[in-house]
Structure 1
Amino acid sequence: MEKPALPRPFILTAFIVVISLFHYLTPLRLPMLHDIFQRLYYLPIILAAFWYGLRGGLACSLAVSLVYVPHLFFQWGGHVGMELEKYLEIVLYNVVGGVTGFLSQKERERSAELRRTAAGLEESYRQLRLQSEKILAIEEQLRRAEKLSTMGELAAVLAHEIRNPLGSIRGTAEILRDDYRPGDRKYEFLEIQIKETERLNRVVEDFLRMARPQPPALGRCAVQEELETIVTLVANDARERQIALELAPPPRPPIIRGDGEKLRQAFLNIIINALQATPAGGRVTIATTLVPAGDHPTGCEISIRDSGAGMDAATRMRIFEPFFTTKPNGTGLGLAITRKIVESHGGTLAVASEPGRGTTVTISLPLSRGAEEERP
């Protein structure tokens, strides 16, 4: 254990007392020693001025003068030349104490002002950084809005020019398939044509949903019930993949105002991605928590964690870009649509992932006070 430091007044007092004892106990026939002791008085004076400023320096110099005056009168009395020198030394004590204290005090004031300025600059830098982050986020939203606006203009053309021919192609292929039996090469070719037609039709539908999304029909939505429905739907797929799918019950099921159908689509996209990314013997965990804010929580977080291979930073930065996918048969629109659904509910979607450590997708949704009041 470290010993506590001695208080500064005690140090100054000890300096003055020790030097004075040297003065009074040293014989007068040793004037050189008295000259040395006389100069030693400057040490406590300068220390006091450095520690306490102008008042401290003057107070210490006055204390030294008062202690030194009896020595001057009673021990050096009768030596007029010596007395004048000692009197001048007393004046110098006070001059040094006053000047040093004044300079020390000004330096402390300047240091304090610099610290305040530095704190102000740091706060200004923090504000500027927050504003720049907001500006960058707004610019990103504007770029996305511009892209979606362009895609929205193309959506009607694509719907007319692609979906109708796709329907004709699929219908013709189904008719031709009836003329062949399973196992025939032409039957297999027609099966491939029908499946690819269905896949292309899904791409067009996903593109239309992302480019021209319908506003959510807000109503009372029990998040946990929606998750339970989805887990029931994908439970068989999880068993076939030999993956443990776990839905943790929340201590208090959150109720929000939202579009249950659209939220189911968003949750389903993420859970399917988690199952596809998890190898056999892995685990996918779904948990819902309330975001505390005093007595009344203001939001809920749905966390979907998998034990898959994870993603590197470059992939993680692009997963919400339209048509970006790492799956051989993926369209690259699922997560883009999911984020739009979450944002249309006033929420946010965050992804945390590292290679070899799996992925965690966190959906944050605001709670509605009106929805909480409807809780049975």
Structure 2
Amino acid sequence: MSANLQREKNRQRPAGKEPVSSPNLEKISRESDRISMLLNTGTIVSSVAHSVRNSLNAIKGAVFYLMGKYSEDETIREFMQIATDEINRIEESISDLITLSSHSSRFIETDINELIKKILFFTSFQFKNSNIKRHCMFGKIPAIRIRPFELGQAILNVLNNSIEAMGSGGVLSIKTYVDKVFGNEFIFLEITDSGPGIPPEKKLRSNLPIPTNEGKGFGLFITRKIIEDHGGNVLIESKHGVGTTVSFCLPVPDLGVPNEQPKK
């Protein structure tokens, strides 16, 4: 269901039927306001990004020095290459942050499948280290105009949650496809993990996990905000003891794209 339809349903909610408030829900409301402010504030983001970039330059220099000094040690060379790749990834993210802070409304035509593959490449070491297998089924989907950095962050939030939930071992499945909802075409991205799932007592009516005092759970609220800002919606299906599926649905223009089954 689109975010607009959901908001319309909320406006039509009968008086006296509002959800019961609680300290957690009040905290969620405050956090939602904070997230909105952060997503629309460029000055602080740009300042922090430039500061981190300066520190990365020093780290990068040290890594290059170690690669040269221990060039004959294959294991050290392999880990130094991983460090270099991660530094490059962070630098690219920082560039995106600076661009985002300067052009917060900038949308770029993007192939979401390629965006996912790029994120999986940079997180491959995390999956390998956690002994988690990945199964990907990329469907034929059109390129659409999105904010790549924001959507990438939303995907990364879900992947990090899945890795943490599964711990050591498990299977993560990713599937993309096009389908129609109320006559409109949407791109669907489904991320499924074989973790323990969200216990019923720790879920809100939206199926989002209740954020804890330690800050866990807020990542999905940030993710939902990003997807809704793209005109889409986040759907979560979780069975305790079985696993969790997080689905993004993003609207696409009417390009006559066939509803094909995903292919490996």
Does the 8 Å contact 1:310/1:354 carry over to 2? yes
Structure 1 partner of 2:92: none
Q: CA deviation at 1:147?
A: 5.7
- The letter for the 2-side match of 1:314 is E
Partner of 1:354: 239
| Amino acid corresponding to residue 316 of structure 1 in structure 2 | K
Identity level (%) = 25
* Counterpart residue number, 2:222: 337
Which residue of the partner structure matches residue 290 of structure 1? 178
Task: Identify which of 269, 273, 277 aligns with 2:161.
Answer: 273
The one-character-per-residue Cα deviations of 1:154-209 (angstroms, maximum 9, x if unpaired) are x98xx6xxx8xx99xx9xxxxxxxxxxxxxxxxxxxxxxxxxxxxxxxxxxxxxxx
1:228 to 117, 125, 143: 117
TM-score (norm 1): 0.41
CA shift at 1:338, angstroms? 1.1
Are 2:144 and 1:256 aligned?
yes
Q: Please name the residue that 1:183 is paired with.
A: none
Amino acid at match of 1:310: G
Asked if structure 1 preserves the Cα contact closer than 8 Å seen for 2:184 and 2:251, the reply is: no
1:152 Cα deviation after fit: 3.9
The yes-or-no answer on 1:217 pairing with 2:106 is yes
- Structure having the higher helix fraction is 1
Gaps of 5+ in 1: 1-127, 171-211
**Cα distance between partner residues in 2 of 1:293 and 1:316:** 25
Query: In 2, are the aligned partners of 1:257 and 1:371 still within 8 Å (CA)?
Result: no
The C-alpha deviation readout for 1:217-241, integer Å capped at 9, x for no partner, is 2221211111111111111110110
Task: Measure the CA separation in 1 of the matches of 2:35 and 2:128.
Answer: 42
Report the secondary structure of 1:362's partner residue: strand
Residue of structure 1 in register with 2:12 after alignment: 131
Q: Secondary structure at the match of 1:360?
A: strand
Shift of 1:216: 4.1
Take 1:331 and 1:291, find their aligned partners in 2: how far apart are those partners? 32
User: In the superposition, relative to structure 1, how do residues 147 and 281 fare at CA in structure 2: closer, same or farther (>3 Å)?
Assistant: closer
Match status 1:241 vs 2:130: yes
- Preserved CA contact (<8 Å) 1:320 1:339: no
Q: Equivalences for 1:82-231 in 2 at 5 Å?
A: 131-132=12-13, 144=29, 148=33, 152=37, 215-231=104-120
Code of the residue aligned with 2:33 in structure 1: it is L
Q: Distance in 2 between matches of 1:146 and 1:309?
A: 26
For CA contacts below 8 A with separation 6 or more, give which structure has more relative contact order: 2
Closer, same or farther in 2 for the Cα pair 1:243/1:361, shift >3 Å? Answer: same
Q: In the TM superposition, what whole-angstrom CA distance separates every residue of 1:105-130 from its partner, at most 9, and x where no partner exists?
A: xxxxxxxxxxxxxxxxxxxxxxx999
**Two-structure CA RMSD over aligned residues (Å):** 4.6
In 1: Cα distance, 2:209 partner to 2:233 partner: 13
Residue among 305, 313, 326 paired with 2:192: 305
Q: Is the 8 A contact 1:224 1:254 kept in 2?
A: no
For residue 189 of structure 2, give the secondary structure of its aligned residue in structure 1: strand
Distance of 1:269 and 1:129 partners within structure 2 = 27
The answer to whether the Cα contact below 8 Å between 1:352 and 1:359 also exists between their aligned partners in 2 is yes
Separation of aligned partners in 1, 2:235 and 2:209: 11
- AA of the residue aligned to 1:353: S
Q: 1:292 aligns to what SS in structure 2?
A: strand
Structure 2-normalised TM-score?
Answer: 0.57
Q: Residue 237 of structure 2 aligns to a residue in which SS? A: strand
In structure 2, what is the Cα distance between the partners aligned to 1:237 and 1:320?
23
Choose 1 or 2 for highest CA Rg.
1
State the distance in 2 between where 1:337 and 1:293 align: 24
Post-superposition shift, 1:292?
Answer: 3.2
Distance 2:256 2:115 in 1: 15
Match of residue 249 from structure 2: 364
Residue type of the alignment partner of 1:303: E
For the 8 Å contact 1:299–1:367, the answer to whether it is kept is yes
Post-superposition offset of 1:370: 6.9
Residue type matched to 2:128 in 1?
R
- The Cα shift of 1:151 comes to 7.9
